């Protein structure tokens, strides 16, 4: 058995222990915390973050970053909502295209993928650092959202659509199913197919990966495209849940996603980490949010605590890799 694997398990084990301890503390302090209803509630709340954080994990594994996911989420949510509600109408051409739910959802995901693809293209072909490229996209996508929606929410859809955000399936909220599906697929991608291996290799040593014949640009573009698509899925869930696409939806969601990735032990310098870690990270953040709300802690303090947890997680992770 390899020791590196054990080591990895170790840091995941730590996250699990941290999660467990958080739960114990909240269960002791609040009798509303440790109930099935609340558990499902937490899971539903974190499912959007998980969608985004999974894409973010893939990107961070290649030693990149994506700051644009929150805005992309808003734009895709708005596009789906707009198409569903108004379709595409071009009066001058006397043209009207209506959209089914599936069509509108697919269109939203296509828009997300395109924006991600664009990120990837700028980063690989024009050598713009990911931080800068996606920071620009953060602003661009938010602006496009405002343009598309004129700054107003697009609201009230039929129940078949809102089912995606608020419905239940086999005892679990629908968003939880969607997040689970994404997580399982991502685990297979990272562990079991070539793309995943290439992602780790690029993050570990881009030069060596290139000289091994890996098409670096293609892999990176693919990863940013996937992240864009997953942000779109998040946007659709949020829109369906609120029965409304808010133009300022998803603001600072990228930070929660990055936090989940980092707490989950994925190294920001790339090449080391896991999807499972990210799921644990998202759970820790979710439980923390939920518990602090149940305990009536002021939202200001909540932010302070969340930041502290991120710091602590990274410090523990650093100490681990030093002992290696």
Partner 1 sequence: MLVTKNITKKFPGVIALENVNLKIDAGKVTAIIGENGAGKSTLMKILSGVYPDYEGEIIFKDQPVNFAGTADAQKAGIAIIHQELNLIPYLTITENIFLGRELGNAFGILDKKAMHAKAKTLLDTLHVDVNPDTLVADLKVGQQQMVEIAKALLLDADLIIMDEPTSAITEAEVETLFKVIEKLRSENKAIVYISHKLNELFKIADNYVVLRDGKTIETGLMQSMTHDELIKKMVGRAIVPMQKELADANAKELLRIENICLKQKNKASKLHNISFNVNGGEIVGVFGLMGAGRTELLETIFGVHPAASSGSVTVNNKNITIKKPADAIRAGIVLLPEDRKKDGLVLGMEVKKNISLPCLHEVEKMGLLNDKKESTLAKKHIQQLGIKTPSENQVTKNLSGGNQQKIVLAKWLERNPKVLLLDEPTRGIDVNAKNEMYKLMQELAGKGMAIVMVSSELTEILTVSNRIIVMAEGKITAIIPAGEATEDNVLKAAISIN
Residues engaged in binding partner 1 (CB under 8 A): 1-5, 188, 191-194, 196-197, 200-201, 204-205, 207-215, 271-272
Task: Rank residues 92 and 207 by Cβ distance to partner 1 and give the closer one.
Answer: 207
Rounded to whole angstroms, the Cα distance separating 274 from 73 reads 23
Q: CB of 61: closest distance to partner 1 in angstroms? A: 12
Q: Find the shortest distance in angstroms from Cβ 7 to partner 1.
A: 9
Decide whether 201 or 284 has the Cβ nearer to partner 1.
Answer: 201
Q: What is the Cα 233 distance to its own chain's centre?
A: 9
Rg (Cα) of the chain, in Å, rounded? 20
- Measure the CA–CA gap between 283 and 213, rounded to whole angstroms: 38
Which two three-digit tokens encode residue 108?
A: 């939203």
- What is the nearest approach in angstroms of partner 1 to the Cβ of residue 271? 5
Query: What 3-state DSSP class applies to 290?
Result: helix
Going by C-alpha positions, the residue among 229, 240, 304 that lies closest to residue 51 is: 229
**Minimum gap (Å) between residue 212 Cβ and partner 1:** 5
Decide whether 155 or 321 has the Cβ nearer to partner 1.
Answer: 321
Closer to partner 1 by Cβ: residue 154 or 219: 219
Q: Cβ of residue 4: shortest distance to partner 1, in angstroms? A: 5
Contacts of 237 (CB under 8 A, 6+ apart): 47, 48, 51, 164, 165, 175, 178
Q: How far is the CB of 198 from partner 1 (least distance, A)?
A: 8
Give me the DSSP letters along 39-85.
HHHHHHHHHHHHHHHHHHHHHHHTT---S-HHHHHHHHHHHHHHHHH
Pick 155 or 212: Cβ nearer partner 1: 212
CB-nearer residue toward partner 1: 170 or 211: 211
């Amino acid at each position: 058995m390899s020791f590196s694997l054990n080591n990895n398990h170790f840091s995941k084990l730590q996250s699990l222990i941290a999660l467990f301890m958080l739960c114990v503390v909240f269960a002791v302090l609040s009798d509303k915390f440790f109930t099935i209803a609340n558990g499902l509630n937490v899971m539903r709340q974190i499912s959007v973050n998980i969608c985004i954080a999974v894409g973010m994990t893939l990107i961070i594994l290649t030693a990149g970053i994506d700051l644009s996911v929150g805005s992309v989420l808003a734009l895709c949510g708005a596009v789906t909502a707009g198409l569903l509600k108004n379709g595409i109408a071009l009066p001058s051409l006397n043209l009207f295209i209506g959209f089914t739910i599936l069509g509108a959802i697919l269109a939203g995901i296509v828009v997300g993928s395109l924006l991600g693809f664009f990120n990837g293209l700028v980063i690989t072909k024009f050598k713009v650092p990911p931080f800068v490229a996606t920071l620009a996209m953060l602003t661009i996508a938010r602006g496009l959202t405002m343009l598309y929606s004129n700054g107003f929410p697009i609201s009230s859809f039929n129940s078949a659509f809102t089912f995606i955000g608020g419905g239940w399936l086999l005892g679990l909220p629908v968003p939880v199913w969607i997040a689970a599906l994404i997580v399982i697929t991502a685990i297979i991608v990272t562990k079991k197919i070539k793309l995943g291996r290439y992602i780790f290799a690029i993050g570990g040593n881009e030069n060596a990966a290139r000289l091994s014949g890996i098409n670096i640009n293609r892999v990176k573009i693919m990863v940013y495209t996937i992240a864009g698509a997953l942000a779109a899925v998040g946007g659709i869930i949020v829109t369906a849940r609120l029965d409304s696409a808010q133009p300022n939806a998803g603001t600072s969601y990228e930070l929660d996603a990055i936090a989940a990735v980092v707490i989950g032990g994925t190294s920001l310098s790339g090449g080391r980490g896991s999807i499972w870690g990210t799921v644990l990270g998202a759970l820790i953040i979710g439980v923390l949010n939920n518990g602090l709300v149940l305990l009536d802690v002021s939202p200001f303090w909540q932010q302070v605590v969340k930041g502290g947890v991120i710091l602590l997680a990274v410090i523990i992770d650093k100490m681990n890799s030093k002992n290696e």
